[in-house]
Amino acid sequence: MDDKYLNNLRHSCAHLLAHAVKQLYPGALNAIGPAIENGFYQDFDMGKWSISEADFPKIEAKMREILPNWKKFSFNEISLPEAKKLFKDNKYKVEMATEFAKQGKKLQTNDPGDFLDLCKMGHVENPSKELGHFRLISIAGAYWRGNEKNKMLTRIYGTVWPTQPELDTYLKMLEEAKKRDHRKLGKDLDLFVFSDLVGKGLPLLTPKGTTLKRTLERFIVDEEIKRGYLHVSTPPIAKVDLYRTSGHYPYYKDTMYPPMKVDEEELILRPMTCPHHFALFKSRPRSYHEMPVRFAEISPQFRYEKSGELTGLIRVRTFLLSDAHIITPKNQADEEIEKVLDLISYVNKAFGLKSGTDYRFRLSLGDRKDSKKYYKDDKMWDYAENVLREVLNHQDVPFYEAKNEAAFYGPKIDVQMKNVNGKEDTAFTVQYDFVMPKRFNLRFINNKGQEEEPVVIHRASIGAFERTMAFLIEHYAGALPFWLSPVQVIILPISDKFKDYSVKVQDELVNNGIRVDRNDESKGSGAKIRESTLQKIPYLVIIGEKEAGSGQIAVRTREGKDLGPIKINEFITKLKSQIENFS
């Protein structure tokens, strides 16, 4: 099965959906309806109607009812005046036809089952035979042409596959992904919330979510300090001029917040940390003795994302990046990049992720012909891309090369993480930058007493905290590894009589650095065990008559395994070793 056939199948099904909706809801107008990964969508101006996912069975039934009459897509090329006449009731079609005509594109219509539509083409041969294995998936709002100044339309997402088993497999995968959706789990496990009053895309981490964040933060800060990074704290706002100097301002302007006038200065929320670290580097002369300088920061950053693109913790309007900039003599760059890859491997191992299956490396290259997107210096690009390639070869890790994916200031290595949908996202990056040192006039005194220009390696060790948390929640379906679990142990006394002993056990665990909750509610212990298991707390300590007398505890895992009675000290030793081994 080639991608083209799947695209045609899905695009065809979008037409079928349009036909069904227009029959069921007279006056509804269909706008665009393209194929997308794993399916399609179709936008509608629903006019006086309002629909929800509850209407899907009705719409699907109508699609099935119509389908036998969809014998074939016939094509007619038409003129713009004809198009304007044929689609005079649909302003969206007229707008598109006018624009296509202006661009010199052909205008074509098709009318399977007498459903006349304007379309860019790409359909199946026998719709009535091929379109049977579809399902409507979800509904969302979407601005006409993606512009928030236009009307909000109703977007229906659907999927369609060549065979029923393929459809079933996909729906099952979807079901599984839904269960793992960090937005759902974030709520169920009380990790984060959003608030209309605070604003869109601005998550509020609860005490549990904050514990996860803090555990990640201390882990990476301590590890980076061990590896020679110098953690610094720079302000989350700065003068717009700083980003003009770096060249970010014109380039990233669309994803930056508007500037704020203050006194005689124009301040702006920072979209990245690099220029701040350069300012710190330049605050005094630097000698080769202290090079490379590895400035790291757990850095709050701000990117303006359109409200339609906000997604849980994955696409947010403010995030915390484990950022660093290694300012190094050119001849040590390869060594430094190897060290960064070592750190990333270490981090991924701590997260329980495997190279090859859970993630892989991508070498993202520039394009010598695109001097608008990339800084023009062919020799430097060749050199830098080669440095990265050789490091990857030397590390002996699987990687692939991708053209036209570099930063504007140099090539990079991306760590591509596979998420629960099977899709790959860039989790962390390592970038080679030969442009910023020039823009900021970065210099150090080398061992010959001369001024030398360093290169900069930009890197994120555990990426954006929010996104990494979302990834881990989905990867583990909420059952985070013990060392990362916000509540690691819960103590469940089976009655009030055992409260004293429970408190004693809790104190002993807490004094050994374990995060412990206690549930004293006077419910049956069955209910309490069920609740704690649903909360994915790694260990449940049940305390009753037998335990209170013995100096032992009964431990059960969230998977339902009974560890039997165990001495508190032994349990503590086991837990400490789990923390040490990131398990």
Indicate whether 265 belongs to the interface with a copy of itself (CB under 8 A). Answer: yes
Indicate whether 289 belongs to the interface with a copy of itself (CB under 8 A). Answer: yes
| Cβ proximity to a copy of itself, 406 vs 490, nearer residue | 490
- Strand 117-118 to strand 76-78: parallel, antiparallel, or no bridges (unpaired)? unpaired
Among 122, 132, 236, 544, contact with a copy of itself (rule: CB under 8 A): 236
Binding region for a copy of itself (CB under 8 A) out of 72-80, 259-267, 444-452, 500-508:
259-267
- Strand 552-557 to strand 562-567: parallel, antiparallel, or no bridges (unpaired)? antiparallel
Among 96, 242, 350, 430, contact with a copy of itself (rule: CB under 8 A): 242
Indicate whether 245 belongs to the interface with a copy of itself (CB under 8 A). Answer: yes
| Cβ proximity to a copy of itself, 174 vs 267, nearer residue | 267
Indicate whether 141 belongs to the interface with a copy of itself (CB under 8 A). Answer: no
Structure tokens belonging to residue 491: 């103590």
Interior angle at CA 276, CA 274 and CA 280, nearest 5: 115
| Cβ proximity to a copy of itself, 255 vs 393, nearer residue | 255
How many residues form the binding site for a copy of itself (CB under 8 A)?
Answer: 60
Judged by CB under 8 A, the chain residues 147 through 176 that form the site for a copy of itself are 148
| Cβ proximity to a copy of itself, 215 vs 355, nearer residue | 215
Indicate whether 280 belongs to the interface with a copy of itself (CB under 8 A). Answer: yes
Distances (CA, A) of 314 to 38, 414, 473: 20, 17, 12
Which residue type, as a one-letter code, is found at position 421?
N
Exposed e or buried b for every residue in 65-85, given b needs 16+ CB within 10 A? ebbeebeebeeeebeeeebee
DSSP string, 314-370: TB-SEEEEEEEEEEE-GGGHHHHHHHHHHHHHHHHHHTT--BTTTEEEEEE---TT-
| Cβ proximity to a copy of itself, 224 vs 433, nearer residue | 224
Interatomic CA distance for residues 72 and 133, integer angstroms: 17
CB of 154 to a copy of itself, least distance (A): 18
Judged by CB under 8 A, the chain residues 51 through 70 that form the site for a copy of itself are none
What phi and psi values does residue 353 have, to the nearest 5 degrees?
A: -105, 145
Indicate whether 402 belongs to the interface with a copy of itself (CB under 8 A). Answer: no
CB of 575 to a copy of itself, least distance (A): 18
Judged by CB under 8 A, the chain residues 176 through 215 that form the site for a copy of itself are 193, 195, 197-200, 202-207, 209-211, 213-214
Judged by CB under 8 A, the chain residues 520 through 539 that form the site for a copy of itself are 521
CB of 143 to a copy of itself, least distance (A): 10
Distances (CA, A) of 491 to 373, 436, 519, 543, 553: 57, 54, 6, 7, 10
CB atoms within 10 A of CB 181: 18
CB of 26 to a copy of itself, least distance (A): 31
Interatomic CA distance for residues 160 and 33, integer angstroms: 14
Judged by CB under 8 A, the chain residues 293 through 352 that form the site for a copy of itself are 295, 300, 302, 304, 306-307, 317-318
CB of 385 to a copy of itself, least distance (A): 31
Do 541 and 491 form a contact (C-beta atoms < 8 A)?
A: yes
Do 481 and 583 form a contact (C-beta atoms < 8 A)?
A: yes
| Cβ proximity to a copy of itself, 158 vs 209, nearer residue | 209
Which residue type, as a one-letter code, is found at position 146?
G
Interatomic CA distance for residues 423 and 358, integer angstroms: 11
Binding region for a copy of itself (CB under 8 A) out of 61-69, 276-284, 478-486, 534-542:
276-284
SS3 sequence of 64-115: HHHHHHCCCCCCEEECHHHHHHHCCCCHHHHHHHHHHHHCCCCEEEECHHHC
Question: Site residues (CB under 8 A) for a copy of itself?
Answer: 148, 193, 195, 197-200, 202-207, 209-211, 213-214, 218, 221, 230-239, 241-242, 245, 257-258, 260-265, 267, 269, 275-276, 279-280, 282-284, 289, 295, 300, 302, 304, 306-307, 317-318, 521
